[in-house]
Structure 1
């Protein structure tokens, strides 16, 4: 079968047209392979796509409109040839219902899987469309096999799985490796599961309703991490053949059948039902981290315009050319605004006497006197509108525009500082009178731009305590 590869400077991803299956994921800096490469002694697959079934259905069959249909383990998509469109950093894999699929599944559908690369992240989008005139039951999931251990002289037991949040959860065992059994207590306010070579002797560890939407594979011996984010999936499983050197992470919407379930596909646990013409989407991502990748990410972050920007209040006596001002304002006018209202207009001030006079209109506007130029965004009252609830959003719009000006200045190799005018009425009045704004324009801020006359040491401002994840 034909394979397709996409890569960037961080990772390389290879996908087969058979089942749209990921068969290789390597990090570029070290050429480490993360995907299980298959071995007939244990398991020959790599990362099969599960559709339209997850696990076994009861007796491997179901009844629809008076007819019995056989459903293969994990469905049939992994055995189908997908049409693949290869683009830069993206693979689009498409499977449509056909004569063979209708033998198992009497529904017309379109299944599209999109793989995209973003630095060290593989994004996966799953689009499931019901193209028939009947309601369509389905489940979808992944069976992603990761090599463990990754290096020689390591053991399976050196690795562990870590959840994003503390979990109190039961796991659902498989009975005879086929059907879901009664829940077994597993986690009690715990975040991690230490891997053991014999932990899957009774089959997969299946979880339902976890709080976490992220899970890690980590090692006690090094800083290499595999990170799986699965926000759109209701079930999650861990699985391997006992003593095999791999671990499957399995985000799924659905699970294997229960002994008590009948043959009605619409009543299967975890099943999704699409109305005619409806489409659903499920997304997940795989991130790879190691020392080399993290170093590269850090360098890229530190060299970004946003990270380099500081509020500069002392400037060199250099001209800020009209071309640079035009480039800055071109960026500024791309800022978001409510309803695309774009209430802004701008004054550009470069004369020495004007800058000096404006610098005295606020106790904090001193840097304006020595700046190369001043950019003054104003709200146009003739353009400003209220929404249906009577709210005005121009303050947010002008704030977004002002921040864009500062970033655009840095993009042009100069620096700046934002000095507030609105909502101080006295500052607004003084500047409005000086600029002869009349009733039309309301000055929002004075942004001084120029070539930095001093260096400012960068400080880490990120504070985990200020972030609240739901």
Structure 2
């Protein structure tokens, strides 16, 4: 079931299944800013990534001598056990808790609350993870919102680019065919804050930034003044991804990474993994702000 919040500028909808953002609709232009999950191209819209991000080597990991299997990006997305727990005119909150099914894949007890706050042109996606188990837990958490573009008739995708908050000097890890990190790197941005969204940019899968100076990035057009900005202060990594020739771009705040090809598959040594103590709470949010021309 979908639930909505709205103000004079936008109407936002979130699917209870997976606590997935599925619409940011402009009231002035009637433009839909979130990809509408066309199953013929990509059936997601903005899945929550937990307790791993990206692919595991052979789809498996080990913890305390036991082997476990997890799907890519974890088990929150498309999960029908997520429940709405709070709704106001400007806020929606959803809860997903560990159970026998999750414990078979991931041996940690938790409560994960995902909330959506709409204020003027900003939507904050807020995560609150509580370790309810009897020891430490290890996890990664992230977002995967997909934004539609072009925004106006007559514009082409070649008119669009990404503008980072600061100038970057970045190389990215080359991904293997099965989505794992290799030790090969290639330069992508050298002393610039702009990345052209040119054809072929995502032919080799996602671009994963691990050493950014910026904590905000904007999708912009050369032919209009509008932009979509994503602030990811609470997340050290950023993924960018699209299907080749698809009219969307995923801007993904991450606090973990896929496995390396040579991973020993031990969860406690997974790149970017976070250790959360018994009874502790992890907070992380990202904010989407839409500036209409």
Give the TM-score band, short-chain normalised. Answer: over 0.9
Residue 189 of structure 1, aligned match among 171, 174, 191: 191
Answer 1 or 2: higher relative contact order, Cα 8 Å, separation at least 6: 2
Comparing both structures, which one devotes a greater share of its residues to helix? 1
Task: Name the structure 2 match of 1:267.
Answer: 269
The alignment partner of 1:39 has SS state of coil
CA contact (8 A) 1:177 1:202 kept: no
How far, CA to CA, are the matches of 1:251 and 1:142 in structure 2? 5
1:289 partnered with 2:291: yes
User: Residue by residue, what CA displacement relative to the aligned partner does 1:375-422 show, whole Å, maximum 9, x if unpaired?
Assistant: xxxxxxxxxxxxxxxxxxxxxxxxxxxxxxxxxxxxxxxxxxxxxxxx
Stretches of structure 1 that go unaligned for 5 or more consecutive residues are: 292-470
How far, CA to CA, are the matches of 2:138 and 2:269 in structure 1? 9
For residues 63-462 of structure 1, the aligned pairs below 5 Å read: 63-81=62-80, 82-84=82-84, 85-181=86-182, 182-291=184-293
TM-score by length of 1: 0.61
Stretches of structure 2 that go unaligned for 5 or more consecutive residues are: none
**Residues matched between the structures, number:** 290
User: Residue by residue, what CA displacement relative to the aligned partner does 1:3-61 show, whole Å, maximum 9, x if unpaired?
Assistant: 10000112111000111000001122212110011223321111111000100111111
How far, CA to CA, are the matches of 1:269 and 1:206 in structure 2? 13
User: Residue by residue, what CA displacement relative to the aligned partner does 1:343-379 show, whole Å, maximum 9, x if unpaired?
Assistant: xxxxxxxxxxxxxxxxxxxxxxxxxxxxxxxxxxxxx
Offset at residue 177 of structure 1 (A): 4.0
How far, CA to CA, are the matches of 2:163 and 2:178 in structure 1? 25
Q: CA RMSD of the aligned region, Å? A: 1.1
CA contact (8 A) 1:27 1:288 kept: no
CA contact (8 A) 2:128 2:281 kept: yes
User: Residue by residue, what CA displacement relative to the aligned partner does 1:41-82 show, whole Å, maximum 9, x if unpaired?
Assistant: 321111111000100111111112322110110000113231
How far, CA to CA, are the matches of 1:255 and 1:263 in structure 2? 13
CA contact (8 A) 1:254 1:269 kept: yes
The alignment partner of 1:172 has SS state of strand
Task: Name the structure 2 match of 1:33.
Answer: 32
How far, CA to CA, are the matches of 2:90 and 2:257 in structure 1? 32
TM-score by length of 2: 0.96
CA contact (8 A) 2:63 2:268 kept: no
How far, CA to CA, are the matches of 1:180 and 1:263 in structure 2? 13
Task: Name the structure 2 match of 1:294.
Answer: none
CA contact (8 A) 1:177 1:203 kept: no
The alignment partner of 1:170 has SS state of strand
The alignment partner of 1:143 has SS state of coil
The alignment partner of 1:258 has SS state of coil
Task: Name the structure 2 match of 1:62.
Answer: 61
The alignment partner of 1:140 has SS state of coil
Offset at residue 150 of structure 1 (A): 2.1
The alignment partner of 1:19 has SS state of helix
Comparing both structures, which one devotes a greater share of its residues to strand? 2
Task: Name the structure 2 match of 1:24.
Answer: 23
